[in-house]
Structure 1
């Protein structure tokens, strides 16, 4: 904001002129007396995740304040991060409501009398992008703010009473905005529960009760299983060549499996897949980010929604590696993939047809369905909590990891309805999930609009457009002249070295 745009009674002033600046430090860790049983908060960038600081993760003692580079920062000071990776995109600012100390990656500004601390915090928050652009140091290993440039940064200062009115108005509007955001933040959990409710109804048969009543049974359960077995044999022989075909072991239907509709049957994943295996990981020098060769899928390319996201760190392997040492882990469009190393388990994707062949790493299992099992039906079932609960129960825990062996994968129980009902189930899930996704999109839009609204509120506030000006307020120029006079008289030094405030 240029000076001529300032409302009557406002001035634009450098931060260095608005109070007392303090730096921080780290007491030596080799001196237990500085840290043990400390009760003075020692604020570092990791504590700057909130607007008001009332405590810190670490504490130091009075001895540390007396004998180190730490300063005791008074309550009502404004704390700023000046060295941290977070400065690459944000500028954390907070006010402290109790005396604290800060580390060397922070600066503190204790506003002079008449400068409202919360107003100053909000002004710096509103100007964070300008601060990052104008005050950042170049060529540093860790993102840093120049203290000199920061102290020269100018903010708009209204009369003291108007500062308070601005803070009160922003706080009132922020409460409403926060409530709206909290309501929006609760929706993704509800949306996920809705998805899982639909999947639970789908794979118990409850989603298509009315459809079954209106649709004649074309094929008996026994005929369906016989056909599936023949399709599996054809698929196996087409892939395995001369290797002898081994019929899949029938699933031992235990009492803990839910009762299915009469036309359905519990089967093992092996019974309805001609091919279940896991991938292989080649040496690093055989993988490349350059487009070319065969796309190589890793766990982070799988999703919790069934789609494959190959935009995340895409990797390729040479065609000769794909057909040679990685031949056993080739996958084709339509194959269903599931991660078998967690946590978390439950990432599932269908291989798209954007490439004729793909390859997968060792943390992914591939399920190649028989024609009588719709790929999307299996994908949706693998995404359901019913399957995920059983997978977590059966997984082997090793060094903090959850692992599903191929034996477990092959014996996973799958509910198998007739093909026509599979098609109806998939169509109903698709429609329901499409409607849910529309809600999810609207939530994202609303959240984005709330962020824009918050930014607009701050922008209006510091243009003098949020609250009316009162001609009876003492002008800010008079306030600043008084601060200068007090400083000249020794009452308010602009910079303070060490020790207690």
Structure 2
């Protein structure tokens, strides 16, 4: 620790505060505030709200404190999260609250409650307190002895006021900037969604269509893929999953597409179709975990957890040729789009593009977009755009899930292949700057978090405000404390006790 500035000293908390003090005698009918643990904000470090109860109802089994006390959550994870606050505005100036609070009552004219609060709220202090916790897992607490022995850098009392005032101003500015940064991702998300929606209405390529008026319509690509599917169904030697990889239209799908088309028009050269009507769709499998010979090979195997709106060029696990041969999964070419099908978390509905040949597990569908000489990025970005709708398609079960047929029946606004590539170029040109902005925002938010800790570090090293040689040195304050503590107990008892006002 760097040397303290002139006029500063260092003292343990037990000298600066009365820790977990006993309360005065109070009329049981006196209304007091009631502060359970949830009433303390871990983000702001303040008491958000409190009820009022007659003191007699909460006198036993709760922790007592008063206006001006610092309450410190001692149990995990409340302490680590920052549930530390200065008690203010309590009914009749009194409160009872959770037994999981330590109470620190600053000694008058020696240390400011707000100065202590800032010191205790530092992330570095909470990290240190965590290392000193004791007790069973999930019920660990900060021992009172740790608090008592904690050394606090103590400036002159008037300098404490200047430090607290300066920190209040700086943190208000920092919190305002942080709030602005926190609001930006939502705006970016809205803008990105607007761009995606415009792309798949054909609005980003309207000028392209005028310049390329002779482009074959999507209907030709659709008929070509359906014709290829019919040939597959007649081909001998193919399994059922191969023959059913591409869906043929039925009345149910026709009705679904008609409903979608009624609410969203497309360019005349586009059409609505089922995703599986034009791209082969497959579900994978997991080789037996009981067979070591199936694992640790050279064949890329994708788990659904890796399907997270990304490109996949390598996989966490690989299987052997025996593993591939003994599981109902198959290799898919680069350019295949994977779609997560299972789970209540974020996985269901997320997509990824294979940049390498790979197989996959049973919790994601493999959509062979590149097999039809179609840009996989078009399907990938469309699935990104309709992520929430895709998740809804898999809702309603005990374990929300999509399946092969549901994936095949997802409505797709099919652009002609050449225009689909133009859509991707136009879309990615607009999305790339937004990604850079998001990266910069994430970096700025981390910097803001670090800046708060840095400001506190400067404050408690005496670097935030100027020292005033006219301030009474902090060691003089301590001498007064120690002299009072050294007085006989009878002498101290003769001093008047705090009066308790009783308001209805």
- Per the normalisation by structure 2, the TM-score is 0.80
The Cα offsets for residues 439-458 of structure 1, whole Å up to 9 and x where unpaired, read as 01111121122223222211
Number of the residue aligned with 1:172: 169
Three-state SS of the structure 2 residue aligned to 1:443 is helix
> Comparing both chains, which one has the higher relative contact order based on Cα–Cα distances under 8 Å and sequence gaps of 6 or more?
1
Residue in structure 1 matched with residue 397 of structure 2 by the alignment = 398
Matches within 5 A, 1:248-287: 248-249=248-249, 251-252=253-254, 253-257=257-261, 258-277=264-283, 279-280=284-285
How far residue 103 of structure 1 moved from its aligned partner, in angstroms, is 4.2
What residue number does 2:468 align with? 470
Alignment of 1:62-77 (within 5 A): 62-63=55-56, 65-68=58-61, 70-77=62-69
Structure 2 match to 1:132: 128
Report the equivalent of 1:352: 354
User: What does residue 323 of structure 1 align with?
Assistant: 325
1:122 aligns with: 118
Q: Distance in 1 between matches of 2:236 and 2:334?
A: 15
Report the counterpart of residue 40 of structure 1 in structure 2. Answer: 34
- Would you say the 8 A contact 1:81–1:107 is kept in 2? yes
Long gaps (5+) in structure 1: 25-36, 494-499
**2:180 equivalent to 1:183:** yes
Contact 1:275-1:367 at 8 Å conserved across structures: yes
What is residue 137 of structure 2 aligned with on the other side? 141
Relative to structure 1, the CA distance from residue 220 to residue 185 in structure 2 (aligned partners, 3 Å threshold; closer, same or farther) is closer
1:300 to 293, 301, 305: 305
Q: Deviations over 1:41-99 (max 9, x none)?
A: 2337986443112446x99874464443x330222222223331466x66653222234
Question: Is the Cα–Cα contact under 8 Å of residues 301 and 317 in structure 2 kept in the other structure?
Answer: yes
**Is the CA contact (8 Å cut-off) linking 1:54 and 1:96 kept in structure 2?**
no
- In structure 2, what is the equivalent of residue 52 of structure 1? 46
Please state whether the residue corresponding to 1:53 is helix, strand or coil: coil
2:95 aligned with 1:95, yes or no?
no
What is the Cα deviation at residue 294 of structure 1? 5.6
Residue 213 of structure 1 aligns with which residue? 210
Please give the alpha-carbon distance, in whole angstroms, between the structure 2 residues aligned to 1:238 and 1:461: 78
Q: Separation in 2 of the partners of 1:283 and 1:76?
A: 63
| Preserved CA contact (<8 Å) 1:236 1:274 | no
Retained in 2: the 8 A contact 1:43–1:100? no
Aligned residues: 468
Q: Is the 8 A contact 2:36 2:98 kept in 1?
A: yes
Rounded to whole Å, the distance in 1 between the matches of 2:182 and 2:85 is 23
Other structure's SS at 2:396 match: strand
2:221 is matched with which residue?
Answer: 224
The 3-state SS of whatever aligns with 2:67 is coil
1:157 deviates by: 0.9
Question: Within 1, Cα distance between the matches of 2:459 and 2:219?
Answer: 73
Which residue is equivalent to 2:108?
A: 113
Q: Assess if the C-alpha contact under 8 Å between 1:348 and 1:383 holds in 2.
A: yes
After TM superposition, the structure 1 stretch with the greater mean CA deviation from structure 2, 242-251 or 195-204, is 242-251
- 1:17 is displaced (CA, Å) by 0.6
SS at match of 2:468: coil
Distance 1:465 1:111 in 2: 23
> Which SS does the other structure have where 1:128 is aligned?
helix
CA contact (8 A) 1:301 1:310 kept: no
CA distance, structure 1, for counterparts of residue 129 and residue 296 of structure 2: 35
Matched, 1:424 2:430: no
With over 3 angstroms needed to count, the CA separation of the structure-2 counterparts of 1:365 and 1:284, relative to structure 1, is same
CA separation of 1:492 and 1:309: change in aligned 2, threshold 3 A: farther
Structure 1 residues 476 and 105: alpha-carbon distance in aligned structure 2, compared to 1, 3 A threshold: same
2:192 & 2:42 partners in 1: Cα distance? 36
Partner of 1:373: 374
Displacement of 1:353? 3.9
The answer for the alignment partner of 1:81 in structure 2 is 73
- Equivalent pair of 1:287/1:317 in contact (CA under 8 Å): no
Q: Does the C-alpha gap of structure 1 residues 381 and 336 become closer, same or farther in structure 2, counting only changes over 3 Å?
A: same
TM-score where L is the length of structure 1:
0.80
Unaligned runs of 5+ in 2: 23-30, 494-499
Q: Structure 1: how far apart are the matches of 2:187 and 2:423?
A: 22
Alignment deviations for residues 232-286 of structure 1 (CA, whole Å, 9 cap, x no partner): 4577789972659466116524144222111111111121112243x44677757
Structure 2 residue 188 is the aligned partner of structure 1 residue 198: no
Counterparts in 2 of 1:77 and 1:139: CA distance versus 1, 3 Å: closer
Q: CA RMSD in A?
A: 3.9
Aligned CA distance change for structure 1 residues 221 and 458 (closer, same or farther; 3 Å): closer
SS in 2 for 1:73: strand
